[in-house]
Chains A and B, each alone.
Chain A
Amino acid sequence: MQNLQEFMLFTKATEYLIAIGFMLIFIVFWRLLNAPRRPLRESVAASLEVIKGIFAHPSHTWAEVIQPNVVNVGMDKFTSSVFGSIQEIKLPNQGDRIYQGGRAWRLQRGERELAQVSPVSGRVVEVNRKIVENPELLNREDPERNWILKIAPTRLAREARNLLSGEMLSRWNQAAKEQLVAALVPSSYPVLQEGGEIKPDLGDELTSQQWEKISRDFFNVF
């Protein structure tokens, strides 16, 4: 009789264990079933594709993949030339999330301001302190070597397709330069320096009216 009781207890306990196990498995199954799906091409691309080189956003910021999960971002030479001497730069904090097309940083120079957008989405993993302490470095050194933020990207493979790169990027820069020259004619100072590049301190000579026009026409501000 006792054996039978023990047997019944054992089987009941087993039944409970099976029921609890099923419940746990069901939660996992249901979450998997409803998890946001990434297209296969995207996930394969993200894991296998090595994205190299500079990728530029139409508002003159750039991204460069330096490690599989770290991207350097910064502003381009065009920005540092036409903005002029940067007196202050306001950056997000380490750990903040930023988005492709969303605010990345703000440049200031007296009354002049320029908010630039991020070329990629992700979490800020590092802020370039050297630049915060001495923003003029962005004018003095090649800005494409001067990263401003390091970002852990979240959707790099897809977002890179929204950016300009390679030969088309060079051609676009050339077209922007030609339009800048046309926009500033006639001006009392040279727009280009010897060698045909935009003068690196051009922004210091622009009047506020000229700056308004350039920020509207060249930085995708709308």
Chain B
Amino acid sequence: MSVVLLLLFVAIVVGIGIWRQRKIAAVREGETIGTKVAPSWTGIFVHPGHAWVEVAEPALVAVGTDEFTRSVFGSVERLALPEPGTMIQQGGKAWRLKRGTRELVQTSPISGRVEEVNQDVVQNPRLLVEKDTQKNWMLKIRPLKLKRELRNLLHGNVLRQWNQAVKDRLVATLTMAEFPVLQEGGEIKPDLGDELTSQQWDKVTAEFFNPGQGEDK
């Protein structure tokens, strides 16, 4: 009798647990789907750790690595992306780029569940040099708090200010470099990373890919 009661008890506790989790997931899904794409959400939104988000529909956004990363990292040889179904957080680890001994872990620009992984870029990471976000996206994510998290990203005019700041800082960081950092027209050279030494790369990583480290006043 005691054994039957115990088994019944275990089944009830497990059942309540599963029901609660499903309810939470349904509420989250409802929150996301209920949000409409605002007209001002066009274009890309960039995280200070140099990953972008593009809102195609409110229930699904594309994310990828920005042009600055592609320029300073150099040709990506391998990509380690999370599996579909993984939950990722804005400011949390998203993916890893590899090139010989050079590695870069980038943070996610948005929170949500990974719905799709771009197998084309996994198999051929050189596709990341494409400028078209339809081709160079890495993950499609079902966002959890889209509207609020987009406000934490750089967009429009603020993004232009940020890009200018990044370029100025890069030129100052690589001031002793024997190669030009900018190309004709003043943009960062798209294959700059291929010329960086490992010391220069370490410096660039510390300066540009570790947001939130702060400094003493």
Binding site for B on A (CB under 8 A): 15-16, 19, 22-23, 26-27, 30, 34, 39, 41-42, 51-55, 57-59, 99-102, 117, 157-168, 171-172, 174-176, 178-179, 216-220, 222
Contact = CB atoms under 8 A, between A and B. Distances in A.
A162 B212 contact: yes
A158 B214 contact: no
Given A158-B91, A217-B156, A34 B151 contact: no
A15 B6 CA distance: 12
B197 interface: no
Contacts of A15: 2
Contact of A54 (B21, B152, B156, B214): B214
A167 B211 contact: no
B201 to A, nearest CB: 18
B168 A171 contact: yes
A39 B105 CA distance: 15
Contacts of A158: 89-92
B155 to A, nearest CB: 6
Given A26-B9, A30-B13, A175-B161, A160 B168 contact: no
B11 to A, nearest CB: 11
A160 B212 contact: yes
24 contacts: A15-B2, A19-B2, A30-B13, A52-B217, A53-B215, A54-B217, A57-B152, A102-B148, A158-B92, A160-B211, A162-B212, A165-B215, A167-B207, A172-B161, A172-B162, A175-B161, A176-B161, A179-B160, A217-B156, A217-B158, A219-B158, A222-B40, A222-B150, A222-B156
Contacts of A157: 212
Contacts of B5: 19
B186 to A, nearest CB: 14
B17 interface: yes
B215 A175 contact: no
A161 B49 contact: yes
A145 to B, nearest CB: 11
Interface string B56-95: 0000000000000000000000000000000001111100
Nearest to A64: B217
Given A220-B155, A222-B40, A53 B168 contact: no
B47 interface: yes
A35 B154 CA distance: 33
Nearest to B151: A101
B38 interface: yes
Nearest to A164: B48
Interface string B173-217: 000000000000000000000000000000000011001111111
A162 B211 contact: yes
A39 B194 CA distance: 33
Given A101-B148, A222-B151, A52 B216 contact: yes
Contacts of A101: 145, 148-152
Contacts of B101: none
Nearest to B24: A36
B23 interface: no
Contacts of B212: 51, 55, 157, 159-163, 165
Given A52-B216, A160-B212, A167-B207, A222 B155 contact: yes
A79 to B, nearest CB: 13
B213 A159 contact: no
Contacts of A220: 151, 154-155, 158
